[in-house]
Amino acid sequence: MPAEAGISGGSCPDFIFPPAETPASDGMTHPRNPLAAPVPLFYTCPMLTTLAIRDVVLIEALDLEFGPGLGTLTGETGAGKSILLDSLGLALGTRADSGLVRTGAAQAMVSAGFDLPADHPAFALLAENGFDADPGEALVIRRVVKADGGSRAFVNDQPASAATLRELGGMLVEIHGQHDDRGLINPRGHRALLDAFGRLDVAGVAAAHAAWRTAEDALEAARTDIENAARDREWLDHAVEELNRFGPEPGEEATLAAERADMQKGAKLADDLVAVGAHLDGSDGGLAALRQAARRLDRIAPEHPLLADALAALDRAVIEASEAEDKLAAAAEAMRFDPARLETVETRLFELRALARKHRVDPDALADLRDELAARLDRIEAGDAGLARLEAAARDARAAYLTLAEALSEARRAAAVRLDAAVATELAPLKLDAARFRTVVETLPESGWSPAGRDRVEFEIATNPGAPFAPLMKIASGGELSRFILALKVALAEQGSATTMIFDEIDRGVGGAVASAIGERLKRLASGAQLLVVTHSPQVAARGASHWLIAKSHDGLVTRTGVRPLGADERQEEIARMLSGAEITAEARAQAMRLLEAA
């Protein structure tokens, strides 16, 4: 892969660049899409940070910590590497099998911790499913499997379903093993990967598709309304005329009900209000008496301080009594019982409610209903002219979508040529020189058109000369499949997928220069992602930024699998073992040192 087609920005890239020029099988080079520019990644450096395993098969208790870049896991055949991957898969939502529980234990538990940027799509998924997840903190998923069957799943200690774990796990980790049918193998994601590789403008097509569907929906709604309205024309005329004649207003029911209640109260309280008024009003009322007493006391108040205090109190009583008289008058007016007005209000209120029941709406919705029914009548009146305008708008929107979708299809076919060429350059070094790779771009029937355009995209391979092309998942050899995935990963430069990847024995059945090429590509890919590789190849193991040894130990009749990180000297010794077998020679140690220095 050309240098400029790699991932820029060190171990945590900010932008991805497609190749400036990509060699093709015809000997020519194809320039980068002229519209291409650096693409910001959706998120940066998400990675698996911790893995805790308890009582899984031969693992009694294991706590691992991981960092960025390429990490390698090695060990003798049968040491338990598959147990480690099965444990991680369990945390990521694979089927729970009680056979994973260590003999004699009540349950097995696996917990995986992830460090994710705040804008990682996993947080949106969790929010949609009602989980509390702070983007500033680590994300921990945990799975418990009981020995008697059944399992429980948790996200940040909140109960979750296995389905949620699977969906979440697909955003966090890709596991490429001997029988993997996810990630790059699944054709459902191929179109998005091609678009990301070619840096194609799908957003414009999606907007045009939405505008087209909106225009079509408006046209269909108008046709349906006109058909229904024409069938119900007589009823509509009557309903609109009745509503117009009645003239309902929003909030009218509450106003009428309040006025009716006040008048009913006024009728009930009329005698009491008259009696109270008589006590206060008139020449013989209480208020007049208070005023006479105040005037007489005013003449003698200077004679003693207590008389002055009494006058002040009496003045206050006169003021309060006057206010009471005013409020009584206001209350009497507010609740004034007018039999004619009450009858009018009650008639209007009852008719309003009856009309609402007739049309099965709230009384306050009658005004809106009147406008809606009147609009339906207007559409009938508009007739063919209105439909013609909507049909023209739908045709124009469809044409606009087709223009953009066709341009997108052309851009996809051009990007497919570049991608095929980029993958082809990676195949020979990986001992896949007889294989061929192609990206199929087919136009779908109109029923399959979508916001993503009109195309079906699928990656296909032919493993032998003269063999027909077939989908990736049809490939026979697991080792070949892993190497194809690696070639495609390098060509795609990790566009649009999870950035924690696990390769299980990608170097199976190869050695020497091929193993070295695999290691070089894994290291290059790890410059912008976290990779964990289970390997038997010393050339691959030497490329790792970190190295773990998986080994069995025996304590009497008890066998355990353990995993431990290796220091520099231990790495050299382990790689020497991988080179020479049971007996480690001085030459093997020297060769191991040369591999480590070359990495």
What pLDDT shows up at residue 266?
66
Q: What is the DSSP string of 317-370?
A: HHHHHHHHHHHHHHHHHHT---HHHHHHHHHHHHHHHHHHHHHTS-GGGHHHHH
* 297: CB partners within 8 A, 6+ apart: 307, 310, 311, 314
**What pLDDT score does 408 carry?**
96
Q: Rounded distance, CA 492 to CA 324, Å? A: 87
pLDDT for 43 equals 36
Domains of the chain: 3-80+172-206+400-598 (3.40.50.300)
- pLDDT mean by block of 10 residues, the chain; 599 residues: 32 41 41 37 67 91 90 83 85 87 92 89 88 84 91 92 88 71 72 89 94 94 78 83 90 86 70 61 70 78 81 81 75 68 86 90 91 82 77 95 96 95 88 88 95 94 85 68 80 63 79 84 84 89 91 81 89 89 84 86
Q: What is the pLDDT of residue 277?
A: 63
Q: Pick the closest to residue 123 from 171, 162, 66, 79 (CA basis).
A: 171
Query: How many other C-beta atoms can be found within 10 angstroms of the C-beta atom of residue 94?
Result: 16
Cα distances from 132 to residues 125, 127, 129, 142, in angstroms, run: 11, 7, 9, 15
HSE at residue 91, side-chain half, CA atoms within 13 A, is 27
**pLDDT the model gives residue 187:** 85
Q: Report residue 334: phi and psi, to 5°.
A: -65, -35
- pLDDT score recorded for residue 271: 54
d(CA 514, CA 523): 14
Tokens coding 459? 């990656």
Contact 249, 335 (CB under 8 A): no
Query: Distance of CA 312 to CAs 301, 305, 317, 319, 375, Å?
Result: 10, 11, 9, 11, 70
Tokens 């007489």, residue located: 296
Element (H, E) at 196: helix 190-198
Buried b (16+ CB within 10 A) or exposed e, 214-231: ebbeebeebeeebeebee
Check residue 158 and give its pLDDT: 93
Give the Cα-Cα-Cα angle 45, 193, 69 (nearest 5 degrees).
25
What's the pTM value of the predicted model, to 2 decimals? 0.58
User: What was the pLDDT predicted at 420?
Assistant: 93
- Whole-angstrom Cα distance, residue 68 to residue 500? 9
Q: Which residue in this structure is represented by tokens 């702070």?
A: 134
Predicted confidence at residue 403, as pLDDT, reads 96
Measured between alpha carbons, how far is 50 from 139 in angstroms, rounded to an integer? 10
